[in-house]
Amino acid sequence: MRADGFETLAIHAGQEPDPVTGAVVPPIYQVSTYKQDGVGGLRGAGLHGAGWNEGYEYSRSANPTRGALEDCLAALEGGARALAFASGMAAEDCLLRTVCRPGDHVLIPVDAYGGTYRLHDKVFANWGVSYLPVPMSEPEAVRNALAIKPARVVWVETPTNPLLSVADISALANIARESGALLVVDNTFASPYLQQPLALGADVVVHSTTKYIGGHSDVLGGALVVRDTGLGEHLSFTQNATGAAAGPFDAWLTLRGVKTLGVRMDRHCQNAVRIADMLAAHTRVAEVFYPGLGSHPGHEVAAKQMRGFGGMVSFRHREGEAEAVAFCGRTRLFTLGESLGGVESLVEHPAKMTHASAAGSALEVPADLVRLSVGIETCDDLLEDLRSALR
């Protein structure tokens, strides 16, 4: 039998009609604890995510709504198991605490989400886990860094936040495997619809589900998806021991969002391509960062490993920082705000906002950079908004 396609999995995986009532979407099980039939007699073994334990005991360990989301995300990324967290940062923290020990070393991208850099620089470094920023778009640089000092984890973002650089996942998977490192890919910008890192050889996928997966700017969340069930068990142990699991309502909102991920991503990509082309031809724009442009250094790798080029576009304002900042305040439809991946378009100034924590580091971003999260509004309206803010 043919395997189900992406959109079918997004709507059905982990979301069988409720076994008790037949409700066609998983109900919000807003509950902390579960009645036991005699001590240790847990109900619900094998239902929504409880397949991994012997039934429901306490919602920090397992909850049916969260389990439905986890099963769906595992199916969408082609993983053995997924775990859903209260935020993307909670997912990253759980992963690093599970796989790293004091004395371990991590390679991180020279261009990455500022919060990921902060977690390594301000939290894990204090616990004896060192890190080195490496240009992940250059596989040889990664190989050389591992030869000098082996790492427990090679942490990749592709495309990166906010400079949209692209790393070759399968090349890095080979390099990481040869040196015994885990390859972790933050797939937030692409979403599983556009890119599936596990199929390309990665060991772990990280998501801020706050972004494209949730898709409506109404919920925070994070996820880890793994190919290996043993690692999944270790992560689940840490998640339960430390407690940053997604709550049932948040899991339900995220699951509601993920059903339309495919159609939303198609429109995000279509709009972003037109916007990147317009900006590339604009006299007040010095440089556009979008992997869909033929001039982007990562274009060929992106075309090989992604189904589309995504909805994020960054550019440098030709007139410098002050004009870049002013531009962010002049748009009508692009709302000035942090975050990305929602149906509505957003604009921000990374150096002063999302990436302020990277100031003065190897991950510092240009002061004249503007980042756009291109939404799914009518594209002509978005183009007009940007043109008038650039005037």
* Binding residues for ligand PLP (CB under 6 A): 87-89, 113, 115-116, 157, 161, 186, 188-189, 208, 210, 220, 222
Containing 83, the helix (H) or strand (E) segment is strand 81-85
Q: Which is nearer to ligand PLP, 70 or 157 (CB)?
A: 157
CA geometry: angle at 228 spanning 226 and 234, to 5°?
80
Token pair for 335: 């709302």
- φ, ψ of residue 229 to 5 degrees: the values are -70, -30
Token pair for 336: 């000035």
Token pair for 151: 């790492």
The b-or-e profile of 297-321 (16+ CB within 10 A means b, else e) is ebbebbeebbbbbbbbbbbbbeeeb
What's the DSSP call for residue 126?
A: G
In angstroms, what is the minimal distance from the CB of 161 to ligand PLP?
4
Give Cβ neighbours of residue 162 (< 8 Å, ≥ 6 apart). 111, 289, 312, 314, 350, 354, 355, 365, 369, 371
Distances (CA, A) of 169 to 137, 174, 220: 9, 9, 27
Question: Strands (DSSP E) along 95-236, which ranges?
Answer: 105-109, 130-134, 153-157, 182-186, 204-208, 222-226
185 burial via Cβ count (<10 Å: 0-12, 13-18, 19+): buried
In angstroms, what is the minimal distance from the CB of 47 to ligand PLP?
27
The residues carrying an active-site annotation are 60, 113, 186, 211
In angstroms, what is the minimal distance from the CB of 220 to ligand PLP?
5
Q: Which is nearer to ligand PLP, 76 or 278 (CB)?
A: 76
In angstroms, what is the minimal distance from the CB of 204 to ligand PLP?
13
In angstroms, what is the minimal distance from the CB of 92 to ligand PLP?
7
Q: Which is nearer to ligand PLP, 330 or 352 (CB)?
A: 352
The terminus-to-terminus CA distance of the chain in angstroms comes to 56
- Report the interhelical angle of 379-390 vs 261-280 (nearest 10°): 40
Q: Which is nearer to ligand PLP, 137 or 208 (CB)?
A: 208
32 burial via Cβ count (<10 Å: 0-12, 13-18, 19+): exposed
Helix then strand then coil, in percent of the chain rounded to 5, is 40, 15, 45
Q: Which is nearer to ligand PLP, 71 or 157 (CB)?
A: 157
The type of residue at 286 is A
In angstroms, what is the minimal distance from the CB of 187 to ligand PLP?
9
Q: Which is nearer to ligand PLP, 161 or 236 (CB)?
A: 161
Q: Which is nearer to ligand PLP, 63 or 210 (CB)?
A: 210
